[in-house]
Structure 1
């Protein structure tokens, strides 16, 4: 059995950062256990290639939720990265930090050091913003953030103009002074390639002699001596192996795998563990509870002007953009499908936005099996305006089904399970139609394809978004942070309540979801969490 100072379970958005920062001084030995394989794959590195990874079991856990009454009984598909870089290697790359008020609320709930002003130096230090530095943005950090304003599809300008006509201000930087308004999304790419957490943080760390990364290594149990975590048991290539941690075990598996591993290890709801024959190391009903996620829907239109459909669908178009990408690392394949978007309030009396917008200059109404048809869009000029809720009040849970680590946990999402979530989504879809009715968009729209003009009444609109909504891939809070051990899993220093030598550092610790995409905040959590570990080692 080998001994390391730190064992990190998971090489995703947070785990990659933790590995980099803990190993940087050379003082500590670090073992990273990753259940998946390499990120050196063409469709992982090519930004728009994530359509190919959306169902690919080689790089994706391909989770499914329980049939959800809030989604008209649908069992939602939940992709999660199973490779170096985790979900940062298969996501849509949109870089949104979250609202100042989100983090200030975390601190106000009893988590000192997590207010926006506390975190801003870390946000600035971790990024290399292509648009330059200012009082909110940083340059010179490991994570490249690209401004796509000059590269987006021409239709994007019409979307921005229509949103302004509908009353939203133009916002040049959602990560700057304020978040509200519409603008072009910044993405995590560099020189036309995906800038995952693995590329930005883990790959540099892997060059150090004090870092060992084991791929295809599924962590099956955290090992304890009394109440202290002392190592990890894992399976690799059919063999059961054990590694020992002399300082700490750090769980960075993400919002599904982190609570799963804790529960398998005897940390979680006592009744559940007892029913499954798992000895209880520490009882905590919050492990796997408080699941929060952003839920979204697209409204799709047939246009009178060409969209990306006319380029990405025909063979000659694929050849053209393929050559453009291979030779110049530019063109549609170097971008996210979400060219632009924004944030708005469904009720003007709200203190901050509660809804996020997405503009996509192509459409994928006609279903394809086996992949997300980003690279094979509809045969007519289509585009979509999407939206998702930012801070839903619905809560779900993630609980193991058995004591077998290879059995996927039961994901109960409970989408739209509160009246408040239904009411705000109803108001939001009406606002999408308002944007589409503005002159800048209306003059180029031939028809609304989904949900279509026959869907008009509130009841029909609600039924439609229940049937067509799904996750926008931002599950959080299943190992939530808080000072009260009866209501949280980790304390403000991300140590698991009631145990020693064990932390959780990933998006599962968010006390509540944030306003926007969660990847930037997940990377920030890795950065902040590693700083806390290093402080405690002094």
Structure 2
């Protein structure tokens, strides 16, 4: 019931697959990767538009929900997170967005040395295989395929033209010199197939003799010897098992999973642990605090121009869509979560873009539900850097119980003018000449909402998460910091956190690409620490050091 390896990684998601690849590249490291979900065998995972099927499927999705919140009209909001090899990179909308250089410079200003934009850009480039080749801002030959969209629809072109008519510049590469502007999204796909981290980083190295991949392994807690992590206790096929880590335990379970595991292990705010009946091993007030997410306000416009709604609601056209994809890997089944990206400002007074648009040439009440029975498009706008903060807190000492997720959207009044301004920008785009002539009416929320107070009410009633939770094990040196700049847990040895939870502040955009970068940088730091430790041991040893032989670690599914 017990194994022993060098590194135990919890979570085979956007970060965990990267770590497993990079750490096992050294054959002297035996690495075990634990994933609560199963293999990524569902065909819907690999078809880009398959997120309409995989989200809300409990076989592939944790299906989290936030606590009911008066700030969003008393609603509980869905928070899909991947529970499968590849994690959320197997379920997400495939959009490749890095954020703004100022985001990372801000991380460095907060006391996190080595995390400025200049420091992290090489790690973005290292992972990337950009369709257009290497450049000052992009990499080629990395494990992660990044390509242009394979779908174009006229309504999207009208939307881009309208954005330019209100003064938003066209930008061919929002991941390049500047983010601001309007243009088509880049996506993590290749020849019409999703490119998750499981496909890009894990699949090519599954036959390494020093890498164990264990699926359907639900982590219960971190094991300790005093103030040092020694391993992981997990459940597999109904049996409680343990794996010992000779070097380090690495949590890569995401902004919900990582703080939950720490709290169930006795590491976190004493109040939360005591209320849940968990003995406090190490009080760390920031575990589960500082939760941030992008809240999107979705506007739907009925159109005269035909959109994808008309195609997917017509049985014959729907069959032709499937045939087109089968024959050429093109067409609507290659659709990412959105076609058009806009990064702009909620008001002229803002120093840099603070809102992001996701434009889709279709409309539905929410992902996973059928398209509306009329021609329409969706113009979603989210605040990029919210001030509101929430929390993740365990409810009991049972590690299999879901924690309470308090998103606290719009709880900070500084967020109100930004979301109101975002709705106004969306309407200005819709009223621009290139788009207005194709619009019949504003379906959601409806043109009857006009005043600032009414638009704030719109944000409370018609908003959804855009699925970017972050910040719950923040990096830093202040009272709420959980990890230091090398992602080591404060006050606990041989334990790191590597995922979106370490972001001190949410990045200005989608989070998958930044998490992959975080894992690339973390892998380098982990291997660097191992080299230094090895050199120190050799220098201190009175006799010659004999290298440890590596046995065949085997594979698990």
- With the length of structure 2 as denominator, give the TM-score of the two structures: 0.94
**Distance across 2 between alignment mates of 1:28 and 1:259:** 26
**Distance across 1 between alignment mates of 2:374 and 2:305:** 10
- Name the residue aligned to 1:7: 8
Q: Equivalences for 1:197-236 in 2 at 5 Å?
A: 197-236=197-236
Would you say the 8 A contact 2:275–2:396 is kept in 1? no
- Name the residue aligned to 2:244: 244
**Distance across 2 between alignment mates of 1:272 and 1:392:** 25
Q: C-alpha displacement at 1:335, in angstroms?
A: 2.1
- Name the residue aligned to 1:73: 74
Q: C-alpha displacement at 1:318, in angstroms?
A: 1.7
Q: C-alpha displacement at 1:262, in angstroms?
A: 0.2
**Distance across 1 between alignment mates of 2:123 and 2:164:** 33
- Name the residue aligned to 2:372: 378
Q: C-alpha displacement at 1:459, in angstroms?
A: 2.0
Q: C-alpha displacement at 1:274, in angstroms?
A: 2.2
- Name the residue aligned to 1:473: 467
Q: C-alpha displacement at 1:2, in angstroms?
A: 1.1
Q: C-alpha displacement at 1:340, in angstroms?
A: 0.7
1:202-227 Cα offsets, whole Å, 9 max, x none, are 11232211111111100001000000
Q: Equivalences for 1:358-397 in 2 at 5 Å?
A: 358-365=358-365, 372-373=368-369, 376-397=370-391
**Distance across 2 between alignment mates of 1:344 and 1:297:** 15
SS in 1 for 2:274: helix
- Name the residue aligned to 1:341: 341
Would you say the 8 A contact 2:151–2:334 is kept in 1? no
SS in 2 for 1:404: coil
**Distance across 2 between alignment mates of 1:463 and 1:83:** 37
- Name the residue aligned to 1:532: 525
SS in 2 for 1:242: strand
Q: C-alpha displacement at 1:131, in angstroms?
A: 2.0
For residues 455 and 327 of structure 1, do their structure 2 counterparts lie closer, same or farther at Cα, with a shift above 3 Å needed? same
1:518 to 486, 504, 511: 511
Q: Please say if 1:449 is aligned against 2:450.
A: no
1:293-328 Cα offsets, whole Å, 9 max, x none, are 110011111111110111111221221111111221
Q: Equivalences for 1:52-71 in 2 at 5 Å?
A: 52-71=53-72
Q: Which runs of 5+ in 1 are unaligned?
A: none
SS in 1 for 2:62: coil
**Distance across 2 between alignment mates of 1:207 and 1:388:** 42
**Distance across 2 between alignment mates of 1:285 and 1:182:** 41
Q: Please say if 1:145 is aligned against 2:139.
A: no
- Name the residue aligned to 1:439: 433
Q: C-alpha displacement at 1:176, in angstroms?
A: 0.2
SS in 1 for 2:212: strand
Q: Equivalences for 1:288-327 in 2 at 5 Å?
A: 288-327=288-327
SS in 1 for 2:440: strand
Would you say the 8 A contact 1:171–1:181 is kept in 2? yes
1:129-183 Cα offsets, whole Å, 9 max, x none, are 11222111111111000112x6321221111000000110000001000000100
**Distance across 1 between alignment mates of 2:79 and 2:480:** 26
SS in 2 for 1:436: helix
SS in 2 for 1:11: coil
Q: C-alpha displacement at 1:278, in angstroms?
A: 1.5
Q: Which runs of 5+ in 2 are unaligned?
A: 532-557
- Most deviating of 131-140 and 522-531: 131-140
SS in 2 for 1:430: helix
CA RMSD of aligned residues (A): 1.1
SS in 1 for 2:232: strand
SS in 2 for 1:531: helix
- Name the residue aligned to 1:420: 414
- Name the residue aligned to 2:454: 460
Q: C-alpha displacement at 1:348, in angstroms?
A: 2.3
What is the number of equivalent residue pairs in this alignment? 530
- Name the residue aligned to 2:44: 43
Q: Equivalences for 1:181-196 in 2 at 5 Å?
A: 181-196=181-196
SS in 2 for 1:274: helix
SS in 2 for 1:421: helix
**Distance across 2 between alignment mates of 1:39 and 1:389:** 32
1:245-281 Cα offsets, whole Å, 9 max, x none, are 0000000000000000000001001122123222222
- Most deviating of 234-243 and 324-333: 324-333
**Distance across 2 between alignment mates of 1:122 and 1:406:** 34
**Distance across 2 between alignment mates of 1:311 and 1:193:** 21
Q: C-alpha displacement at 1:483, in angstroms?
A: 2.7
Would you say the 8 A contact 1:291–1:396 is kept in 2? yes
**Distance across 2 between alignment mates of 1:337 and 1:115:** 29
Would you say the 8 A contact 1:71–1:470 is kept in 2? no
- Name the residue aligned to 1:497: 490
Q: C-alpha displacement at 1:75, in angstroms?
A: 0.5
Would you say the 8 A contact 1:17–1:526 is kept in 2? yes
Q: C-alpha displacement at 1:334, in angstroms?
A: 1.1
**Distance across 2 between alignment mates of 1:232 and 1:361:** 46
**Distance across 1 between alignment mates of 2:18 and 2:5:** 18
**Distance across 2 between alignment mates of 1:206 and 1:71:** 44
SS in 2 for 1:487: coil
- Name the residue aligned to 1:29: 30
- Name the residue aligned to 1:277: 277
**Distance across 1 between alignment mates of 2:321 and 2:147:** 20
Would you say the 8 A contact 2:95–2:337 is kept in 1? no
